Amino acid sequence: MMLYICRWILALIIAYAMGRLIVKVKMPSILGWLIAGMVLGPNAIGLLPQAFMDTSLYKVVVCWMQCGFGLMLGTELVWKRIKKYGRALMITTLTQSLGTFAFVSLVFGILFKFTGIPVYLAFAFGGIALATAPAPALSIVQEFHTHGPVTDTLLPMAVLDDVVGIAVFFTVNSIIAGIVSGGTVPLYMIPVMIFLPIAIGIIPGITAGYFIKRWHNKTQTLAVLLLGITVTMLMGLFFNTCVFSGITLNYMLMGVTFSACFSNMIPEDQLDELINWFQPILGVSLVIAIVDLGAPLDYRLILGAGLYTFVYIAARAFGKYFGARIGAKATGMPETVQKYLGLTLLPHSGVSLVFTGIVCSTLASAEPQLSAIVKGTIAAAAVINEIIAVIAAKKGFELADEINK
């Protein structure tokens, strides 16, 4: 085990170095971290082997880090800051999420109609496509100190997008399971998967807020934060493994709730100071999360990508960009949000691979050939899209003039 841990640390150091190198060509560090994860992961060099990634230690650390970078989102969910965008934020989230689901489902429905594949499979692609992976865009926010309307809209939207994505995807998956008579997550588990992570973060968050409000010492504040994240993560693990072992809870959403609770309990100047203190931990959390995101990706899938992969990438990008643009324009959001928010919503791979695994397990016994279509298409799209999406997200912030603000 010690050898595995040393190799993991070495992989993270190499990833960090690749991030620094890629900055030299004016690309975001995350692209270096992502490529490093892909190259050093089990499908290439194998410095980070699958056997280690399957261990409890690795999974626990990654879950902790997911809770940790949830603070970047949760500390933005201060009611005073987001209430001016409240209605517009909700509407734009729905137009870009449900718009992507509808458009991708429509495109694949037409394609499958002419290729003899069951049309219901199109909705599986739509359900996978609507979700956004927040970590890549958030790492760009962190690295380039972005500030402005696009950033202010993206951060809370990343939370809402997760909630909509879970609700729509698992509803679609349950319907498909009913059609093919395979196993699935029962419909009653959908609200559990949405609201349980939120409930888990509330008590640690309120408790942390009580102490942080009274303590202004850096060491004490960080100790409370680290303990709070740990307690939140352990509560999540308990429910995930002992109570609802058949589902995967969203640890980032737990961290978001935890931090949103204390963020609304303390003065804004104290919150800004706390965020500055937490920056080094947040940076490490993001590197680990992005390397973990890249490690399962197989670079060889780029060579085998077919028509479905490119249709999926193009249809999803169209749905995200124009869905966000339509919602932002209809609600009178700033012009930069209307034009460029959609570009920051393109990262996708982490969530898409989780959803793909669930759909494939639903289809595997009754329709293995359909399972293979979904797995091959999304796996290849995850590799290609993530590289394109990171570049597009940074470009979106540049065009909105929010970098280094």
What is the residue type of 376?
A: G
- What integer is the mean pLDDT of 197-217? 87
Whether the pLDDT of residue 26 is over 70: the answer is no
With cut-offs at 50, 70 and 90, classify the pLDDT of residue 354.
low
- Domain count of the chain? 1
Q: What is the DSSP letter of 85?
A: G
Residue 308 in domain:
yes
**Cβ atoms 391, 349 nearer than 8 A:** no
**Residue 303 lies inside a defined structural domain of this protein:** yes
CATH number of the domain bearing residue 189: 1.20.1530.20
Has residue 197 been placed in a domain? yes
- Residue 76 located in a structural domain: yes
pTM of the model: 0.70
Residue 15, domain member (yes or no): no
* 277 token code pair: 């203190």
Rounded CA gap, 125 and 113, in Å? 14
Task: Report the Cα–Cα distance between both ends of the chain, in Å, rounded.
Answer: 44
Handedness of CA 112, 129, 35, 397 (dihedral sign): positive
Residue appearing with tokens 């935890």 = 258
For residue 360, the tally of other CB atoms under 10 A from its CB is 18
The pLDDT of residue 19 is: 83
232 lies in some domain? yes
Q: Within a domain: residue 111? A: yes
Higher pLDDT, 335 or 352: 335
Of the ranges 152-156, 201-205, 356-360, 383-387, the best mean pLDDT one: 201-205
The pLDDT of residue 266 is above 70: yes
Residues spanned by the domain of 369: 61-399
CB under 8 A, 24+ apart: contacts of 7-15: 7/47, 7/48, 7/49, 7/52, 8/48, 8/52, 8/58, 10/47, 11/36, 11/37, 11/40, 11/47, 11/48, 11/291, 12/287, 12/288, 12/291, 14/40, 14/47, 15/40, 15/287, 15/290, 15/291
- Angstrom distance (rounded) from CA 93 to CA 58: 33
CA dist., res. 201 & res. 221, Å (int): 18
43 occurs within a structural domain: no
